Amino acid sequence: MIPLLDDRIRLTRGFFAPARAAELLAALLGDTPWLAVRYENAGRPQELPRWTVNYGERSYDYSGLVFTPLPWTPLLAGLRDLAEAQAETRFNALIVQLYRDGADGVNWHSDDSPGVGADPIIASLSFGATRRFQVRRKGEREPCLELELHAGDLLVMRGDLQHTHQHKVPREPEVTAPRVNLTFRTLSGPAPQPAVAHTSRAVRWPADE
């Protein structure tokens, strides 16, 4: 395990061996009922630059978008149990994201919606294409940390990191292969109210459009 940023990021390379990571990628790509999320931003229709789906016991508020979770599958509950053992906490929510290729990504943000509590522990598993993961101090422009997340890697964010820093998965046009990321979280308190309406379209991988 590699501790980074005062032990508020813990990176475990090869938490899953390559063969197991490849099996998990295939299962996650094919079996997940993905959503392509459409919403309006200042009157303009937008689509999230990735496919996403939520699992577990709690809804998650993602920049005002609220998603109803699906029940744990045996596979995802198994991965949750492994993540819980590593992160030494219990998780009741999971966001699964598919970055179809390097044109997909996630912009600068902190995982600090009210439901995650004061100092959230978030465990992230990566499968498929290697992608960059950047971290910057809030209020600053440039990353202070840049990592490559490989298939099978486990990254845990903890302590007050979500208060002090933001993270991002930048677009990488040269990447052609898909990447699946799982983030396990612990949510509590009242269910979030949607601030932004979305129309989500059920989609399956491989995309046929």
Ligand X SMILES: O=C(O)CCC(=O)C(=O)O
Q: Which does 95 bind (CB under 5 to 8 A by kind): ligand X, Fe ion, none?
A: ligand X
CB of 174 to ligand X, least distance (A): 18
Residues in contact with 88: Cβ distance below 8 Å, sequence separation at least 6, in sequence order? 121
Distances, alpha carbon 84 to alpha carbons 77, 140, 167, 195, 204, in Å: 10, 32, 22, 31, 29
Q: What span, in angstroms and rounded, lies between the C-alpha atoms of 152 and 163?
A: 27
Cis check: omega of the bond before 206, within 30 degrees of 0: yes
For position 59 contacting ligand X by CB under 6 A, the verdict is no
For position 124 contacting ligand X by CB under 6 A, the verdict is yes
User: What is the pattern of x (binds ligand X, CB under 6 A) and - over residues 76-115?
Assistant: -------------------x-x--------x----x----
Chain centre distance of CA 23: 19
In the range 158-197, which residues lie near Fe ion by CB under 5 A? none
For position 61 contacting Fe ion by CB under 5 A, the verdict is no
Residue nearest to ligand X (CB): 181
Residues touching ligand X, count (CB under 6 A): 11
- Which residues would be at the binding site for Fe ion (CB under 5 A)? 111
